[in-house]
Chain A
Amino acid sequence: MPIGIAVLLFGVSFGLLARSVGMGRVAPIVMSATTFAGSAQFAAASILHAGGTAAAAILAAVLLNVRYAPISISVADLFGGAAPKRLVQSQLIVDESWALAARGGGRFDRDLLLGAGLLLYPCWVGGTALGVLGGGLLGDPARLGLDAAFPALFLALLVPQLAGRHALAAAVAAAAIALALVPVAPPGIPIVASSAACLIGWRRR
Chain B
Amino acid sequence: MADLTLAPRTPLGHALPEQHNIGGFALTEVVDTALGSLTVRAGQSAAVADRAAAAGLPLPGPACWLPGAPYAAFWLAQDSWMIEAPFASHEDIHRHLRGLFGDTASITEQTDGWARFDIRGEHLPALFERLCPVDLRGLAPGHATRTVVEHIGCYLIWREPGRISVIGPRSSAAALWHALETAARALA
- Whether A and B are associated in the same complex: the answer reads no
Q: Which residues of A line the B interface, CB within 8 A?
A: none
